[in-house]
Structure 1
Amino acid sequence: MNVQIMVTINGSNKVDLVKVLSEKTHALDGKWLNSKISHIDDYFAGLIKIEISPEHVEELINEFKALGINVEAAELDLVSQQHTTHLNLNIDAKDRPGLVSEISQVLSENSIKIENMECHRLGAADIGAVFTSQFKIAVSDNFNKEQLINSLQEIASDLFIDLRDQS
């Protein structure tokens, strides 16, 4: 019986890296179930969920490490997932120190799981630096949308909040 592993990779970006990683996985009869790879400047980071036979796990990880990238892997428990709703949360505001910390604190206090987060700092001539962010979040069935919005608005009066279902 195959196992599922979550592989975390990062390092300097190389041409055809994704192609090489997928070829090495396929050569050992593994399958990519899900992946997320991002680049900032010439640096990349990624998560790859792979199904593979247990006897090939160590060989695959060693093949990945031989490419000169940082690699970590963990075997996943095959646990049934609880029902969650997936939402998009966009927040824009005048930038200031600690904003990401305060937003993540509110999300944590509301038992919200952050699935993906992208934050950017943009220069605006008239008002200075602007913080813009996009979160993909997972919420439980008893989630209270109004409570979350009210809690976020307590952070600062200039937050623009957009919360909607993922489409």
Structure 2
Amino acid sequence: MNVQIMVTVSGSNQTDLVKVLSEKTHALDGKWLNSRISHIDDYFAGLIKIEIKAENVETLVNEFKALEIQVEAVEQGSVSQTRSTHLNLSIDAKDRPGLVSQISQVLSENSIKVEDMQCHRLGLPDIGGTVFTSQFKIAVSNSFNKEQLISSLQEIDTDLVIDLRAQA
């Protein structure tokens, strides 16, 4: 019987690591259903949804761990089929401590699921400071109130530039 597992991997980057992980999965008759791999400096983190025979799960996890990376695998339970609308949210502002925390709090208070988040701080010598820029992919329920979210975000700081639109 095939099962679906969610595997989280992280550690120092290694040459051809994604290739090796995928080959090990394929060798055990598994297949990647979805994956997300990111690098920051010389560190990587990945989230991989795999379909594989139940009897091969332990072997796959052990083979991944043999690569001297951190590995966690969780068998997928039943997935909720609630309908969501997917949106892109961009927020730019003059950088200051606590912005990510405050934005995350507002998203949580508005029952918004963050599916992907990328935040960057850019030093701009011309303005003598740092700019915060972020892109979120979010999922909202049918009862989502766009104006309420924007108003709540603007309460964080009046200089936030907010762009909210449907995912393409």
**Normalising by structure 1, what TM-score?**
0.98
Moved over 4 A (4+): none
Q: CA deviation at 1:127?
A: 4.5
Q: How many angstroms apart in 1 are the aligned matches of 2:9 and 2:79?
A: 24
Match of 2:152 in 1: 151
Match of 1:100 in 2: 100
Number of residue pairs matched? 167
Match of 2:4 in 1: 4
Letter in 1 for 2:114: I
Q: How many angstroms apart in 1 are the aligned matches of 2:161 and 2:40?
A: 26
Structure 1 residues 78-126: Cα deviation after superposition (integer angstroms, max 9, x where no partner): 3342111111000000000100000000000000000000000011121
Q: Any stretches of 5+ residues in structure 1 without a counterpart?
A: none
> Counterparts in 2 of 1:7-156, with a 5 A limit?
7-125=7-125, 126-156=127-157
Q: CA deviation at 1:161?
A: 0.1
Q: How many angstroms apart in 2 are the aligned matches of 1:128 and 1:134?
A: 20
Q: How many angstroms apart in 2 are the aligned matches of 1:78 and 1:53?
A: 17
Q: Any stretches of 5+ residues in structure 2 without a counterpart?
A: none
Name the SS for the 2:144 alignment partner.
coil
Q: How many angstroms apart in 1 are the aligned matches of 2:43 and 2:143?
A: 39
Name the SS for the 1:115 alignment partner.
strand
8 Å CA contact retained: 1:32, 1:49: yes
Q: How many angstroms apart in 2 are the aligned matches of 1:6 and 1:127?
A: 44
Letter in 2 for 1:149: I
Q: How many angstroms apart in 2 are the aligned matches of 1:33 and 1:80?
A: 18
Question: Identity across aligned pairs (percent)?
Answer: 78
Match of 1:161 in 2: 162
Q: How many angstroms apart in 2 are the aligned matches of 1:10 and 1:70?
A: 5
Structure 1 residues 36-89: Cα deviation after superposition (integer angstroms, max 9, x where no partner): 000000100000000111100000000000011100010001334211111100
